Each structure stands twice: as C-alpha cells, then as structure tokens.
A and B are shown apart, each in its own frame.
Chain A
C-alpha cells in the first residue's frame, strides 16, 4: 500500500483543490492512504470528502516546512503530490521556504503541471508587462501529471483526464431553482462565476483597473440583453457594477455541492477564465459555454479600432479612456495570455467552448443570444461537448497516470542501480 501526501496550497480558487480531492478519493478507493495539506480557503472542497486533511493559513509562514516534514514522516508518505506546481511554488515562496526542502523530505515529489510548463520554465505574462517565473527548484521535479483539460488529450506520460464525475439534476430541482430566482418559463439564465483571485484588490494599478472596467463592460452588455435574461453570479461577493441589472442580477455565495444543481438550471455558462474548473463542469453538464478573453494590447481607442470594428464596440469614449492601457488576458484580470498560447494550439478544448473577444460587444451580445435562444446553435455546442468529453475520458485517470509515473521512475531507478553495480 502506498501513502500519498497531497499538497494543495492555492488560496485563490478551488481548481487545484478539486483535482487533489478527486485524485485523493480515487487513491483511497483503490486502497492507498492519503493525507492532505491545503490552504484553509480550500476547506469546503475537502470537508466531507472522506480525506484526512489539515489546513494552513496565510499566517503559517515557515511553519509550513515542519508541518510538511511531520505529516510526511508520521504518515510514512511514499509520494508528495503538489497540485499544482505554480501555486505550490508561489505559496512556498511567500512563506520564505526554499522549494528544495521538498526533495529532502524523503518521498518522491510529483507535481501537477496544469500549464505544461515543463522544465523550460516559460515566463507567465501577468498584468501589464509583468513576468512571473517559477523558481529554479521546480525544474528539478521530473515527474509531472498533466490534467486534460486544459492540456491536450494526448497519450504522453503523466497526461490524465480531469473531468467532473457524472451528475444529473431532476427537472423538478431545476425548475425550483429558477422559480426561486424569480424566473418564469420564458426567462433564460446565464451563470457567471468568479474566484477569490478575480475579485481580489490588486496592488497593481493595471490589474485593479482591468478588473473593475471589464466587469463594468460586461454589465453593460448584459444590461442590453432582453429583460428575460437573468444573470446568476456565484462568487465571494457581489459585483457592484452588476447592480445595474437590478432584479435580473442574482448573487450567490459559493454553493458547495449545490453548484451543479444551479449550473444545470442555467442556459449558458459565461466565464472570464478560459481554464476555470467551473468551465469543465459546464462542459460535463452540457451547458453551453462562452468564454471572454482580451487579445489586445492598446494604449489608445484608435488601436482598439484597428482590431475591432468601431460599430461592434459597445463601449463609450469615457469607458475606453479610463480602461486604457489594455493588456491581453485569458484569465481575467491576471493575464496568462501568451503563457497559455502554446497549449491551446490544436487543442480540442476550444471546440467544446466558444471564445469571444471581450471588447467586441456586438459579438458578445450576439453570442449570448445565439447560445441562449437558438436551438440549432445549442445543439451544436452540446454535441461538441459530448465529443470532447469522450476524447478526454479515454485518458488514464489521475491515479492511473500516477501509477505509470511511479512505475517508470521505479524502472529508471532499477536500471540506474544496475549500472552502478556493473561499474
């Protein structure tokens, strides 16, 4: 029997915690032992999961190091699984802990490499002209799990499926939720989710501006839609700018296990995060997905108009003058535009969702209307999701992929030690 220490330190979103929880439950189900160390904000993901976990807060600092040592030693962990590498490095760095200490703990270190960063350590574009890079120790983690999505569903070492388990909601439940939101039969429901990091107050002036002004722009688009379209926003707090939608705006705090019930009651899932775990849920639940991104850097309105027809821009002069300068992002408002580009090439993930430019208001509004009202468009979207999901499901599960990684490492170690003996 193996014992795994799963480390999920992200404090900004539940994506990696969700992966860790799913993987942990799979490992337990087949007889392995699992312990989890996670940030306290992820507790709702692990509570009731059946996994043994302990939480760390932002105040932990260097105390995280002895905690990891203690848990790894006490549980006799055979592997430490970081999910994911980027956030693990970020938190260790914030706590002043060198990542190399993980290798000294004894167990084999395996990392979830959500972004296929590999050993090349690509720089991550964040906000306006900022670059984020992982610390060098991360390149020394040879064994990596690569969840698909977002990665391509390819047959390579460590690649594994990351789709939510099947879930069905009854019509009765969907109708109850819609009725409680004040909707009638002709109304349509658009769902929009934000994570903590999307509503954080950034010290970066550009990040704070893009967070505020693009939310404002989205609110304007939604306001221009038919009054039968309601927006349910699930996030850490209401977005004030959506208040202009009046009774058609419904803010809900994070929903836990009821999330999928509300999602399946929606007619469209709208996201400002191309890689959100909530998007995967929408794909899996057959809710059409529209993702907004910005591909443009611009310092003037005229620059924007070189990319998008002026008549398609539904913003006014005041908005653009205050929103400038713009930087590209696929994870609003962080950026990650260029960083994600290589993994989106020939990636069938893009067939399961529709991606539109945030600044092209006409296109955004038309796409929402089309995906909400047009039966043929919706059917196409659902078919594409079905095909995509079946492709992803042909990949090994996270636990199977982990087995393959551990086995290959074992074989490699054996070969190395044989060679040593021969020498």
Chain B
C-alpha cells in the first residue's frame, strides 16, 4: 500500500504523557498550511492509495475540513485519520468526515476506564468522548484501528483494553512500544515498562484479539522483545509511506525511522531478523542498557 502521510498540526487537545511529537510542548503551530496544500497537490494522481492525516490532533486544525475537501477533489482513493477520537463524539462531525472520504480511523485508546485513559492523556472526559466517537464511526460503517501506547500505567490492563476494543467492534488493534522522545523523555522511569512486564500482559491481550478475529499489529518493538509474535510486527507489512513532516519530505518513513531513530547493538550483530526489525530506540538503551535485547537465531525466526 502506498500512503501519503501528512503531519497537519503540532497542536493537540490532549496532553499525553508519552506524546512522541511532543505536542504538549508546543504553544503555536509550526506547520505552514501552504506546504500541506502543495504536498497534496503535487502528489495527486501519482498512485497513492491513501492519504494519512495526523498531528498533533488533525481534527482541531482550522483547515481540517477544507483539507479533506481538497484531498477528495484531488482524487485520492481514501483518507486515513489518526485521531484521539474526541471530535468524533459529535455525530454530525463524524458523518461529515465520512462523506469527505475518511474510511479508516486510527484512534488512540490508552486505557479501558476513564481514570486510566484520561490520566494518561491529561484530558478529563476524553475517554467517554473517544468511546462515543468509535461507536459513531462504526455505525457509519467505517474501519477502526485502535492504537494503544503501552505504558507502566496501562500494561496490567491490556487484556481488559483489548476486550473493550473487541466489544466496540474495532477491526484492528495496534499496540505501540513507547518511543521515549518528545514528552515521554521526561517521564521515562515512570511510564516506560520493562519488556518483561509488557510480555506478561501483552501476550494474553494479543491472543484474545486474534481469537476474536481481529487484525492485530505491533509497532516499534524490537523483534527480540516479543519474539513469539514476529509475524504481527508492522514492519512485516509491505507499505510505502511518503511523509510531510514540518516542511520536510521524508521519502520512505519506515526506512527513516530505522536509519535515524533506531540503533543496533551487540545483540543485534548476528541476529537473523536484524534488517526487518529496524533496531532499538537509543533513548531506551541510554536508560536501561542492552540487557533486555537478545539475538534471534534463524531457527527461532
């Protein structure tokens, strides 16, 4: 799948403790909207299967609806929207974006209770609205993928969270390893679980979602940290992502992440899935060293 990916805004109406782009650290947007329009226009009719809009929170951008109209006018087959889902609680808003070509919603779900979700997003009332948003878009027949960033706070509740997503009719559950940059760098010790803790609770959640017939993916995990589920790693999917990020065009986002945001260490030297895996976030290694990582032999892979 070829995806044109647009970072529409730095700003967000949530203040997640693990925000990778550090939205809560911005008071003004750095995005030039003219760049967005130009990027969308120049890539139209060049074979992209979808436009992925993200931020920040794309739905709060003053030109968000105009952007959807532009994308529709330019003939892109579909829009994928990464969102916290808060605005989707407004039925009229959900219907409008559906009519403007949004077909897949990638919705952040970081807890199975208001207390857990809202504590991490620092947004009172967010959980209730996000759930209402998921119900709204499911009623409209849109596809929903939840994205859950695994933290020390939500890791024991991953099974409950998976069950909630299943009950809501979510099509696809994605679990993300925290990338300890942006906001997350300030709370590393408090919010980043060890991989041992993660495995203990993630595996039953994965089994639950798979047995319920849902699609499941893992994002940002070094393969050796969840070796039993290598086939679920998002890197295993074939995709091509061209991204506009703060005025800079990243030709191949996955390669960019692997080459500039991850590193290899001693355990990776003879690992047979080294290239597919992409490596380890250096910020994790700075804090906890290499002991959590190991070499995967060809037999295990």
Contact = CB atoms under 8 A, between A and B. Distances in A.
B122 A247 contact: no
B28 to A, nearest CB: 10
Interface string B159-192: 0000000000000000000000001111101110
B145 interface: no
Interface in A236-293: 237-238, 247, 250-253, 255, 258, 261-262
A346 interface: no
B262 to A, nearest CB: 16
Contacts of A237: 286
Interface string B16-32: 01000010110100000
A172 B187 CA distance: 16
B283 interface: yes
B186 A177 contact: yes
Given A179-B17, A179-B122, A180-B17, A252 B24 contact: no
A181 B184 CA distance: 9
B15 interface: yes
Contacts of A181: 186-187, 190
Contacts of B287: 238, 251
A255 B27 CA distance: 18
A250 B188 CA distance: 8
Contacts of A176: 15, 24-25, 122, 183
B275 to A, nearest CB: 27
A179 B187 CA distance: 8
A258 B283 contact: no
A253 B283 contact: yes
Nearest to A265: B186
A181 B186 CA distance: 6
A237 B288 CA distance: 11
A173 interface: yes
A31 interface: no
A182 B188 CA distance: 10
A51 B191 CA distance: 37
B285 to A, nearest CB: 11
Nearest to B186: A180
A253 B286 contact: yes
- Most chain B CB within a 10 A radius of its CB, from A182, A237, A238, A247: A182
Interface residues of A, number: 20
B191 to A, nearest CB: 8
B186 A172 contact: no
Contacts of A179: 15, 17, 122
B190 A252 contact: no
Interface string B180-207: 0001111101110000000000000000
B27 A172 contact: yes
B25 A261 contact: yes
B190 A258 contact: no
Contacts of A341: none
A179 B121 CA distance: 11
Contacts of B189: 247, 250
Contact of B186 (A170, A247, A250): A250
A252 B15 CA distance: 20
Contacts of B190: 180-182, 247
A258 B25 contact: yes
Contact of A182 (B15, B22, B122, B187): B187
- Most chain A CB within a 10 A radius of its CB, from B25, B186, B286: B186
Nearest to B182: A258
B21 to A, nearest CB: 13
B187 A173 contact: no
A237 B285 CA distance: 11
Interface in B1-23: 15, 17, 22
B187 A180 contact: yes
B260 to A, nearest CB: 13
A294 B185 CA distance: 33
Contacts of A182: 187, 190
A252 B17 CA distance: 16
Contact of B183 (A180, A247, A255): A180
Contacts of B24: 172-173, 176
A360 B135 CA distance: 63
A382 B286 CA distance: 35
A198 B130 CA distance: 48
Nearest to B180: A253
A197 B214 CA distance: 53
Interface in A88-112: none
B27 A173 contact: yes
Contacts of B22: 258
B284 to A, nearest CB: 12
A250 B189 CA distance: 8
B230 to A, nearest CB: 30
Given A179-B122, A182-B187, 20 more contacts: A172-B15, A172-B24, A176-B15, A176-B122, A179-B17, A180-B17, A180-B186, A181-B186, A181-B190, A238-B287, A247-B189, A247-B190, A250-B186, A251-B287, A252-B185, A252-B186, A253-B185, A253-B283, A258-B25, A261-B25
Interface of A: 170, 172-173, 176-177, 179-182, 237-238, 247, 250-253, 255, 258, 261-262
7 contacts: A172-B15, A180-B190, A247-B190, A250-B186, A252-B185, A253-B283, A253-B286
